[in-house]
């Protein structure tokens, strides 16, 4: 790949690359709208899926694939979106990902059968994958690392609102007769369209002319295929087939072989999707490991809290969603405060370490819960855990972005997002199997509950003596998940201790890219 840039044009680009705070906030309005849409897509259908599958005549396996299809598409396309961001207009790519999301959402809403719905969810997931990778890349392009912290609170607020509001909105839409489940998909469309318009008007990024650009499509295909095989394995193992079985062996060995071939291809092409050289950077390598561990521990542990609140403690779905507010509040406050302090002082490692430590303590405390634990106490535990996550997750990205060449900002950011998402998928699948096995074991004495395949019970319909046993079983099983997650969080703490603190750069990614190209 060769690069050409006229000096006069470079000067103009430098001028355009510097955005004042008002311009940054205007551009962030469109970006955050996109983030909200991506989060909403993943959470709004959670309470609506039983109704959707029943209405379309689907089976339990289809229920799984409606969720898995979007997750697979989102996770596997993140590295490709990140690489494209290093080569093409980031503004156009963000708008394209929003456009794909709109198409997938409309197709999902108008789906007449489960096959159409799953295909539409794939398109929706590809768009969401673009948003997952590109929003943070664009933020790094227009905001210097030293200033990024002060905007972390906005990102945290949008994340919190989308996470909490999604299930509640989905439940309301399904229960409103003149709307129905199709509006779970339609509701994100106006937000996505508005985001496209806002970005067109407000996002001003310097453009550097590039000639001879080539995208490594073979590497992208191999990475997607290999990761998809592993994700399908961890998603379906324990339900469709045993963890130790011929299908498991086929998917694992096949996935590893394809990924091995992908590594071989990536090491030989001029413009790889994932430049293997970035893993020689100590900061990137350590933050990737920490992100994967955080993904496994966080998503694997917390995704089952809603079920714990409903089954073990007897709360309604709406109440269960509201009970997650302490965790969201901890995340929002800690990310905002830490971000402001990082911008003011330029010091960031202390917040990585403190965040990882708080997350570990929070998981350890949640490992003590049961069917009779006070909801106030659980709220405190969740607050501690959320505060740790708020300090840790976003600042892992900041540390990596600060320590790579601007030309690799897209690849480094997307690799972190990819491994965090991959870790979350593995965590949910594996810990979900652990929970099912533990509940099955505890309920075995009741008869009919020992297969691990039984539906989640409606405790309100059970006799009092059976209700107590079921609530205790789910309480103990949920605590066991957090007991498993605790050492993973502790390992993340150990990893971030080895991350070397470096001064935060005071120029934007766009300015750094121009300087690097001028020097070369």
pLDDT reported for residue 11: 35
**Same fold across 1-208 and 274-520:** yes
* Residues in the chain with pLDDT values less than 50: 1-17, 446, 448-454
pLDDT reported for residue 6: 39
The whole-model pTM stands at 0.79
pLDDT reported for residue 367: 93
Cα–Cα distance between 152 and 335 in angstroms, integer? 6
Cβ count near 520 (within 10 Å): 7
Q: What angle do CA 510, 420, 283 make, to 5 degrees?
A: 55
Sign of the CA dihedral running 266, 272, 276, 277: positive
pLDDT reported for residue 12: 36
Question: What are the domain boundaries of the chain?
Answer: 1-208, 217-268, 274-520
- Give the residue from 73, 480, 476 showing the smallest Cα distance to 300: 480
- One CATH from 3.40.50.300, 1.10.340.30, 3.30.300.20, 1.20.1250.20 for 274-520: 1.20.1250.20
pLDDT reported for residue 486: 93
Find where tokens 């766009």 sit: 510
Cα–Cα distance between 430 and 69 in angstroms, integer? 18
Per DSSP, the residues of 292-332 read HHHHHHHHHHHTTHHHIIIIIS---HHHHHHTTHHHHHHHH
pLDDT reported for residue 458: 63
pLDDT reported for residue 232: 82
Max Cα–Cα distance, the chain, nearest Å: 80
Phi, psi of 2 (to 5 degrees): -115, 155
pLDDT reported for residue 108: 92
The CATH number of 1-208 is 1.20.1250.20
Per DSSP, the residues of 118-176 read HHHHHHHHHHHHHHHHHHHHHHHHHS-HHHHGGGHHHHHHHHHHHHHHHHHHHHHHHH-
pLDDT reported for residue 5: 40
Per DSSP, the residues of 412-452 read HHHHHHHHHHHHHHHHHHHHHHHHHHHHHHHHGGGSS--SS
Q: Do 239 and 453 touch, CB atoms closer than 8 A?
A: yes
């Amino acid at each position: 790949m060769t690069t050409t840039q006229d000096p006069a044009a470079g000067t103009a680009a430098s001028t355009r690359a510097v955005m004042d705070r008002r311009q940054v906030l205007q551009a962030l309005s469109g970006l955050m709208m996109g983030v909200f849409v991506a989060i909403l897509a993943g959470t709004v259908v959670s309470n609506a899926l039983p109704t959707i599958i029943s209405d379309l005549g689907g089976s339990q396996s289809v229920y799984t694939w409606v969720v898995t299809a979007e997750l697979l598409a989102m996770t596997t396309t993140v590295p490709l979106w990140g690489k494209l961001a290093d080569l093409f207009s980031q503004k156009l790519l963000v708008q394209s990902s929003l456009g794909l999301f709109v198409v997938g959402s409309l197709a999902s809403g108008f789906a007449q059968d489960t096959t159409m719905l799953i295909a539409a969810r794939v398109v929706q997931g590809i768009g969401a994958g673009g948003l997952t990778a590109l929003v943070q890349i664009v933020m790094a392009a227009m905001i210097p690392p030293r200033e990024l912290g002060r905007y972390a609170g906005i990102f945290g607020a949008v994340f919190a609102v989308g996470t909490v509001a999604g299930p509640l909105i989905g439940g309301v839409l399904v229960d409103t007769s003149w709307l129905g489940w199709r509006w779970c998909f339609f509701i994100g469309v106006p937000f996505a369209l508005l985001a496209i318009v806002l970005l067109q008007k407000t996002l001003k990024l310097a453009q550097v002319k590039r000639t001879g650009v080539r995208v490594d499509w073979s590497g992208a295909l191999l990475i997607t295929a290999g990761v998809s095989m592993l994700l399908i394995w961890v998603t379906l193992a324990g339900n469709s087939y045993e963890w130790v079985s011929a299908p498991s062996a086929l998917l694992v060995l096949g996935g590893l072989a394809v990924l091995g071939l992908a590594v071989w291809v990536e090491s030989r092409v001029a413009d790889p999707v994932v430049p293997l050289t970035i893993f020689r950077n100590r900061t990137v390598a350590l933050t990737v490991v920490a992100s994967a561990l955080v993904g496994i521990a966080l998503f694997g542990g917390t995704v089952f809290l809603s079920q714990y609140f409903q089954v073990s403690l007897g709360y309604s779905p709406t109440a269960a969603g509201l009970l997650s507010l302490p965790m969201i509040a901890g995340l929002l406050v800690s990310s905002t405060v830490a971000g402001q302090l990082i911008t003011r002082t330029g010091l960031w490692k202390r917040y990585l370490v403190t965040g990882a430590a708080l997350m570990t303590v929070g998981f350890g405390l949640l490992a003590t819960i049961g069917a009779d634990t006070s909801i106030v106490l659980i709220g405190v535990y969740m607050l501690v855990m959320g505060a740790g996550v708020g300090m840790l997750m976003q600042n892992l990205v900041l540390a990596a972005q600060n320590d790579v060449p601007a030309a690799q900002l897209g690849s480094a950011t997307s690799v972190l997002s990819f491994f965090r998402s991959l870790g979350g998928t593995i965590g949910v699948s594996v810990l979900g199997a652990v929970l099912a096995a533990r509940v099955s074991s505890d309920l075995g004495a009741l008869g009919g509950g020992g297969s691990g395949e039984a539906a989640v019970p409606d405790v309100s319909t059970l006799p009092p003596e059976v209700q107590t046993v079921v609530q205790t079983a789910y309480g103990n099983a949920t605590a066991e998940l957090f007991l498993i997650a605790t050492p993973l969080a502790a390992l993340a703490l150990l990893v971030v201790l080895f991350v070397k603190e470096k001064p935060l750069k005071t120029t934007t990614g766009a300015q750094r890219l121009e300087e690097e190209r001028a020097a070369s």
